[in-house]
């Protein structure tokens, strides 16, 4: 695997990579095979570290941008032994003697900021996030209850979970988030939509999206033609867009559609560096495909609601695979986001019977 150091005078593409194409997207680095501690240059002054995470995603991407006296790190991975060991390999090897100048979190999910506090403490680096992501992160971490709240159980039952599913989820407790996120610093540096960060010799504009998380930060370097997209745009899968217990009357899918329209104003030929999957070009093609996929799901779901349905009854219309216990929560949230969107569009109505939510076409 090719590595790069800050002493590189210029970026030289590794000619061993053969670009591949799939569904209108081009992957300039082909399919990357990784090992713990690999560091790969993807553009002048920008490097890629991929860390393993549990579950179907399998990995998360982290990006290092050369800064004045070190590197700015965008996302840090989950607080797991393998990820910590991988970072130790990086900073003892390819980046030996390099400090993290700032820790930028795209959004609050633990696979992206689980090790952010660890990085901040080790490098005396500030944490940089949007206010919405920071406050959400803090609220989740400070909820110290071990038992699942009754509101959450009522939410699950409202979505149609049976008692076995409720019991299985309840056995996991409520503190799982804190186990995969290291303690965070008490202060942070706020970024907001339209802000510009000067990192090294580059200017990075903050482009905020929503739907997958409250105030997700993407970083755009238009002169270099690069978008660090986090989970707002993924190449082969759509990010999870869920309705949750904390804001049950929200419209996350509507916010996500609006974010797609906003991102479509960016240049089409950007090199997109996603939170999961491989770097790609073809931004508009991917945005159009994600938008179309979810609007088609809404149309299919409306037809399916000719008879009253619960959220769990809608899985077969929304997902291409069976939903097991480990994916039940995310699938439920996504089904509810689609049903809520149909409500807002006036295409479905919700009725409550014995605490269970039933939806039918309007």
What residues contact 269, with CB distance under 8 A and at least 6 apart? 225, 281, 283
Helix (H, G, I), strand (E, B) or coil at 289: helix
Per-residue pLDDT of the chain (362 residues), as tens digits, is 333 333 333 344 455 678 898 889 999 998 767 676 789 999 999 999 999 999 888 999 999 999 999 999 999 999 999 999 999 999 999 999 999 999 999 999 999 999 999 999 999 999 999 999 999 999 999 987 889 999 999 999 999 999 999 999 999 889 889 899 999 999 999 999 999 999 999 999 999 999 999 999 999 999 999 999 999 999 999 999 999 999 999 999 999 999 999 999 999 999 999 999 999 999 999 999 999 999 999 999 999 999 999 999 999 999 988 999 999 999 999 999 999 999 999 999 999 999 999 999 99
Decide the pairing of beta strands 196-199 and 189-191. unpaired
How far are the Cα atoms of 112, 158, 243 from residue 82, in angstroms, in the given order?
15, 38, 31
What's the confidence (pLDDT) of residue 198? Answer: 97
Q: What is the pLDDT of residue 15?
A: 55
**Helix (H, G, I), strand (E, B), or coil: what is residue 90?**
helix
Q: Work out the number of other CB atoms within 10 angstroms of the CB of residue 218.
A: 28
pLDDT at 235: 97
Where would I find the beta strands (DSSP E) of 222-281? Answer: 226-230, 271-274
Distance (Å, whole) CA 251 – CA 151: 20
**Helices 163-171 + 150-159 axis angle, to 10:** 140
CB 100 within 8 A of CB 71: yes
Question: Of 66, 43, 84, 42, which is closest to residue 278 (Cα–Cα)?
Answer: 42
Q: Whole-model pTM?
A: 0.94
- Domains of the chain as residue ranges with CATH: 20-290 (3.60.15.10)
Please provide residue 204's backbone torsions phi and psi, each rounded to the nearest 5 degrees: -115, 115
∠224-226-228 over CA atoms, to 5°? Answer: 145
Strand partners for 228: 219, 273
For residue 3, what pLDDT is reported? Answer: 35
């Amino acid at each position: 695997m090719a590595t790069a150091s800050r002493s590189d005078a210029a970026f030289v593409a590794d000619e061993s990579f053969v670009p591949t194409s799939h569904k209108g997207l081009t992957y300039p680095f082909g399919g990357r095979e990784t090992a713990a501690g690999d560091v790969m240059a993807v553009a002048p002054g920008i490097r890629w570290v991929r860390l393993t995470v549990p579950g179907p995603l399998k990995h998360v991407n982290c990006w290092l941008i050369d800064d004045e006296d070190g590197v700015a790190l965008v996302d840090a991975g989950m607080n797991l032994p393998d990820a910590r060991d991988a970072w130790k390999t990086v900073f003892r090897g390819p980046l030996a003697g390099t400090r993290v100048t700032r820790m930028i979190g795209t959004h609050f999910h633990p696979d992206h900021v689980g090790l952010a506090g660890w990085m901040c403490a080790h490098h005396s680096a500030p944490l940089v996030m949007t206010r919405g992501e920071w406050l959400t992160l803090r609220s989740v971490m400070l909820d110290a209850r071990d038992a699942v709240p009754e509101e959450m159980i009522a939410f699950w039952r409202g979505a149609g979970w049976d008692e076995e599913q409720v019991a299985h989820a309840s056995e996991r407790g409520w503190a799982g988030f804190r186990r995969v996120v290291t303690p965070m610093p008490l202060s942070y540096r706020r970024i907001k939509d339209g802000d510009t960060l000067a990192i090294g010799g580059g200017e990075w504009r903050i482009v905020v999206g929503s739907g997958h998380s409250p105030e997700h930060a993407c970083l755009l370097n238009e002169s270099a033609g690069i978008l660090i997209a986090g989970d707002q745009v993924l190449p082969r899968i759509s990010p999870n867009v869920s309705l949750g217990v904390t804001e049950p009357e929200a419209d996350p899918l509507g916010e996500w559609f609006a974010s797609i329209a906003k991102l479509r104003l960016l240049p089409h030929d950007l090199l997109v560096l996603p939170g999961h999957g491989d770097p790609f070009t073809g931004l508009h093609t991917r945005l159009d495909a994600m938008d179309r996929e979810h609007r088609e799901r809404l149309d299919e779901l409306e037809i399916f609601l000719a008879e009253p349905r619960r959220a769990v009854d809608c899985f077969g219309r929304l997902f291409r695979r069976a939903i097991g216990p480990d994916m039940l929560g995310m699938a439920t949230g996504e089904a509810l986001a689609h049903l809520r969107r149909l409500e807002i569009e006036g295409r479905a109505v919700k009725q409550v019977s014995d605490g269970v939510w039933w939806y039918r076409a309007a």
